[in-house]
Amino acid sequence: HGHGRGKACAQFCRHAMGSLNEVRTQLLLCLRLGLLPDERLRPLLEDLDALGGRLRRFIVMQDGGTPPQQGPP
């Protein structure tokens, strides 16, 4: 799935973005249910945010656009 370039790859990456958001939802539910402490959740959400940003920029490039400039870390 998603091998190559262009619209098909961008579509595959959109599905991956949906999966990333599902993971975020599951982690937040774990926090709400007391299954995961906040100090363990925070770095995971930061990683998801970073990955999501990279994925969004990649999708824009696959769609033929220019990705937004990345700000300082």
4 C-beta neighbours (distance < 10 Å), count: 9
**Dihedral angle of Cα 60, 62, 65, 67, to the nearest 10 degrees:** 40
Q: For 14-64, what is each residue's pLDDT tens digit?
A: 999 999 999 999 999 999 999 999 999 999 999 999 999 999 999 888 887
Indicate the pLDDT class of residue 2, thresholds 50, 70 and 90.
Answer: very low
Q: Does position 66 have pLDDT exceeding 80, yes or no?
A: no
pTM, two decimal places: 0.74
Residue with token string 């799935």: 1
Residue with token string 């920029």: 57
67 Cβ contact list (under 8 Å, min separation 6): 56, 57, 58, 60, 61
